Amino acid sequence: MCDNCGCNVTDANRHLLEGDEHHTIEVLENLLHENDIQADHNRAHFEEHGVFVVNIMSGPGSGKTSLLEATIHALPPGLRIAVIEGDLETENDAERIRRHGVHAIQITTGMACHLDAHMVHEALHDLELAGIDILFIENVGNLVCPASFDIGQHCNVVLLSVTEGDDKPSKYPIMFRAGSQVLITKTDLLPYIEEFSVVRARAAIRAIRGDMPVIELSSKNGQGMDQWIAWLLQSVAERKVEA
Amino acid sequence: MHETAIVSGLMRILEQKAAQHGVVRISQVLLKVGRLCAVEPQQLMACFEMFAEGTVAEGAELVIDVICVRGRCRQCATEFDVPRYRFECSSCGGNDIEVIQGQEMYIESFEAASRDTKVVAG
């Protein structure tokens, strides 16, 4: 064995003797690259068929499904609606929507706290996009994670229910900043919840995004629903023009 | 816990780049993460440690460079650091603010050891 011809190199010590070349490899790649590509792909599908896609986000229990049920009834007949529901478990929300005669697909994410573009794309296989004007995607109830994942939507609607506290926008600024429209929901309960101030809630939202449109509404007694429906119809009309 | 989804993306990119460059071991990974990404560095590191096990990046150090949020006022064009998500112009007090920094989340680079075949003794 010598140090000259390499006869001292065995499989066991080769890694010690062979020089490792250390270097820096530049990457500059977005960590959500695959999701973003898929989201763009989803959006291209939607746009091809002129579908307006609304991503609805909020904490759990702030009235997303109730809002959708009330919206289905308030939208003019002839407007074709479909719903994708995201939850960790159960078909409950999709069943609630189906009772109103609207096509609903339930995504159960298992352990994932948000919908991503791939999950939504899977669900699209069960949808006839050519027959839809508005697609509502009800994201998993969570005020943090869903804000980070583009799913191919055209706008984000963020709900803040009066039972949650008027400082939620200050506590979860990233979610509220991501919205294109904020809805203060369950306003029928305002007389019973003196801790919630609409003025403070609006100020908290304004501090995060000065030009954020805010609508106060109740899915239960219908107050404010006309404003929400008007906003939706205008958005759908704009989408059709662009398509 | 969307950090797991983000780290899966990170591992896919690392393994792909490592294969491309003939990397046998990654010793350090440098991430740039904006404050508007809603990502918790501690959780990212814990997830990374778990996901890296048994890969070229096992034991690698994850360095996270947190990037502060900067905004540009649409009224007076002042650029400023946005403190604690208060999107209000430091100059004119306007609140129509465009975010110009703080939403990025990407791998800047990694430190790698590639087998240098030139030194292999015959």
**A130 Cβ neighbours under 8 A, 6+ residues apart:** A49
Q: What is the pLDDT of residue A238?
A: 86
Which chain A residues are within 8 Å of B119, Cβ to Cβ?
A: 18-19
Q: Report how far residue B103's alpha carbon sits from residue B105's, in angstroms, rounded to the nearest whole number.
A: 7
Per-residue pLDDT of chain B (122 residues; tens, 9 = 90+): 688 889 999 999 999 999 999 999 999 999 999 999 888 899 999 999 999 999 999 999 999 999 999 999 999 999 999 988 999 999 999 989 999 999 999 999 999 987 654 443 33
A135 closest CA partner among A82, A67, A189:
A82
Say what the ipTM of the complex is. Answer: 0.84
Which chain A residues are within 8 Å of B95, Cβ to Cβ?
A: 206-207, 209-211
CB–CB contact B2 A210 (8 Å): no
pLDDT digits (tens, 9 = 90+) for B1-18: 688 889 999 999 999 999
Separation in Å, CA of A196 to nearest CA in chain B: 21
Which chain B residues are within 8 Å of A173, Cβ to Cβ?
A: 85
pLDDT digits (tens, 9 = 90+) for A78-129: 999 999 999 999 999 999 999 999 999 999 998 889 999 999 999 999 999 9
Q: What is the pLDDT of residue B113?
A: 83
Per-residue pLDDT of chain A (243 residues; tens, 9 = 90+): 566 666 666 666 655 555 556 799 999 999 999 999 999 999 999 999 999 999 999 999 999 999 999 999 999 999 999 999 999 999 999 999 999 999 999 999 988 899 999 999 999 999 999 999 999 999 999 999 999 999 999 999 999 999 999 999 999 999 999 999 999 999 999 999 999 999 999 999 999 999 999 999 999 999 999 999 999 999 999 887 776
- Rounded to the nearest angstrom, the gap between the alpha carbon of residue B19 and the centroid of all alpha carbons in its chain is 20
Q: Which of residues 71-100 of A touch B (CB under 8 A)?
A: none
| B10 to chain A: closest CA residue | A31
Instruction: Give the torsion sign (CA, A9, A15, A19, A25).
Output: positive
Say whether residue A202 is in contact with chain B using an 8 A CB cutoff.
Answer: no
Say whether residue A118 is in contact with chain B using an 8 A CB cutoff.
Answer: no
Q: What is the dihedral of CA A231, A147, A197, B69, to 10 degrees?
A: -110
Q: Report how far residue A189's alpha carbon sits from residue A114's, in angstroms, rounded to the nearest whole number.
A: 28
Mapped onto helix, strand or coil, the DSSP state of residue B87 is coil
CB–CB contact B121 A6 (8 Å): yes
Say whether residue B113 is in contact with chain A using an 8 A CB cutoff.
Answer: yes
Q: What is the pLDDT of residue A4?
A: 64
Q: Would you give the DSSP letter of residue B69?
A: P
Hey, what amino acid is at A6? G
